[in-house]
Amino acid sequence: MISATTLCKELINVNGLVVDDVEFFSNKYEELCILIKVHLRKGLQWKCPVCGRRYTEIYDAPYEHKRWRALDFGGILVYIEAYLPRIRCKEHGVKTADVPWAFPNSNFTKDFDYTVTWMGKYLNHSAISKSMRIDWRTVGRCIARVHEDLEPDVNCRLDGVVKIGIDETSYRKGHSYITVVVNHETNTVIWAAKDHGKSVLQKFCEQLTPEQRSSIKVVTGDGARWITDCVKEYFPNAERCVDPFHVVEWATEALDKVRIAAWRRALETAKSVAVSRGQGRPGKDDTEAQIAAAAKKKADQIKKSMYSLGKAPEHLTQSQAVRLEMIARSDNQLYRAYLLKESLRLIFQIDDVDEAEEALIAWVKWARHCRIAEFVELQRKIMRHKDHILNTIRLDVSNARIEATNNKIKLLIRQAYGFHDVDNMIHMVMLYCSDLKIPLPNRGTREGSFSQAA
């Protein structure tokens, strides 16, 4: 039979560890905990956390003994306790000594940090916080430590990049933004920073070495003027493109304004018929009731039609298709606005740039004369960005993956809702939108396949 100390050594899984004592205790929530008291074998003791140099002399011991939370053992909370002094490194000064089972300044083991980080890729933070029994702010700190461990030099992501996309995403309900730069060829985030606007993008541009700058040939983004200005200033040999999903978004926004106006009109009609009925005009009640009901139904259909109008027709559910059909029959203006949005979207599916240009010019002509103010306005915006739109098609950056990456970032931020530390959020975006693999403890040789034991 294996002894308790052997079991505990295996649980912590660190070479050169000596287990001095194991005891149970109850925490303040009356949960059972195991406390494993350890020390490191002599030759392994007291490393500088920065350079890894070993020191035999301690400086002082402000903590005396420190506790780290380890992964649970069958629901029992596990803590490691060790004597932790400070050392004086000749290069880095006085530092708390490094221990092999935890990252510096962490109260959790590395296995714990890695497990939380792996979960963060798939679960929202409150679910992780409940299942791991940690404060949800700790989730962000675990992720930040793991990212720093997996990728000590983030700047190497900036080497040899050819096509980049710039986007800003709001977090905390639209009050705060982060700017994210994506490598279109790998669909990974290569840079992210707090705030948005020209000054943030300039920070990115100035951080690049001349070689890194010259390798960039394509820059995509929304229609913002400052992106165009930065491209001219920092990447004079690069082509400026507009992300197709932004252009479609402009059209969808214009369409939604038309929809809301149509809904208000239908509602007014329904109300005015109802009012005239209320004033009582005998004999006409039945027809007026029908008109009122029809107007009310139309208003309801329009109100519910946001998704039907916004979606591509091939993705409509049956009831959404019916709603669209109803609009086609009852509201000519709204339906035309919908057709304008759809045909603009389809231009990005044309491969041939000359054909696309022809289609775009035809679209602009149509929109200019459509007598829908929102689309007349949009047409002007499209004309201003015509060259950028055609660049997008010519250079084939019009694929759906760009939007997928963008949505992934938005989803990540939603999962981490309530983030107070932007730096940790940036670590999260950099880590999860990359090729970095997050290992879990004790996974042996299996690679994703799991036996189906009952």
Mode of pairing for the β-strands spanning 218-221 and 163-171: parallel
Q: If binding is defined by CB under 5 A, does position 373 make contact with Zn ion? A: no
User: For residue 60, what is the DSSP state?
Assistant: B
Q: At what angle do helices 422-432 and 136-150 cross, to 10 degrees?
A: 50
Any residues with CB less than 8 A from the CB of 18 and at least 6 apart, and which?
38, 39, 40, 41
If one asks whether residue 91 binds Zn ion (CB under 5 A), the answer comes out as yes
- Under 8 Å CB-to-CB from 277, ≥6 apart: which residues? 285, 288, 289, 292
Q: How far is the CB of 152 from Zn ion (least distance, A)?
A: 15
Phi first, then psi: what are they for 125, rounded to 5°? -70, -25
| Cβ distance to Zn ion smaller for residue 91 or 435 | 91
Report, in Å, the least distance between residue 97 CB and Zn ion.
11
Residue 97 touches Zn ion, criterion: CB under 5 A: no
Positions 306 through 345 that interact with Zn ion (CB under 5 A): none
Report 117-156 residues binding Zn ion (CB under 5 A): none
Per residue, what are the HEC states of 4-25?
HHHHHHHHHCCCCEEEEEEEEE
Q: Using the minimum distance from each CB to Zn ion, give the nearer residue, 87 or 292.
A: 87
Q: Does residue 48 bind Zn ion (CB under 5 A)? A: yes
Instruction: Count other C-beta atoms under 10 Å from residue 123's C-beta.
Output: 16
CB half-sphere exposure, 219, CA atoms < 13 A:
27
What tokens appear for 282 in the block? 């005998």
Report, in Å, the least distance between residue 57 CB and Zn ion. Answer: 14
Does residue 50 touch Zn ion according to CB under 5 A?
yes
Using alpha carbons only, what angle is made at residue 380 by residues 378 and 382, rounded to the nearest 5 degrees?
A: 70
Q: Which of 34, 36, 38, 89 binds Zn ion (CB under 5 A)?
A: 89
Smallest gap, in angstroms, from Cβ of residue 95 to Zn ion? Answer: 7
| 247-276 positions binding Zn ion, by CB under 5 A | none
Considering only 92, 121, 133, 368, the residue that binds Zn ion (CB under 5 A) is 92
- Closer CB to Zn ion, residue 51 or residue 404? 51
- Extended strands (E) in 204-317: 218-221, 239-242
Rounded distance between C-alpha atoms, residue 326 and residue 323, angstroms: 5
Based on the shown chain and the rule CB under 5 A, indicate whether residue 292 belongs to the binding site for Zn ion. no
Residues 206-225 that bind Zn ion (CB under 5 A): none
**Which span (36-44, 49-57, 132-140, 336-344) binds Zn ion, by CB under 5 A?**
49-57
CB of 91 to Zn ion, least distance (A): 5
- Taking the complex as a whole, how short is the minimal distance between the CB of residue 50 and Zn ion, in angstroms? 4
* Residue 95 or 298 having the CB closest to Zn ion: 95
Task: Strands of 146-225 (E only): list them.
Answer: 163-171, 176-183, 188-194, 218-221
Which uninterrupted H or E stretch holds 299?
Answer: helix 285-303
32/50 with CB nearer Zn ion:
50
The stretch among 91-99, 247-255, 268-276, 316-324 that binds Zn ion (CB under 5 A) is 91-99
The residues of the shown chain that bind Zn ion, judged by CB under 5 A, are 48, 50-51, 89, 91-92
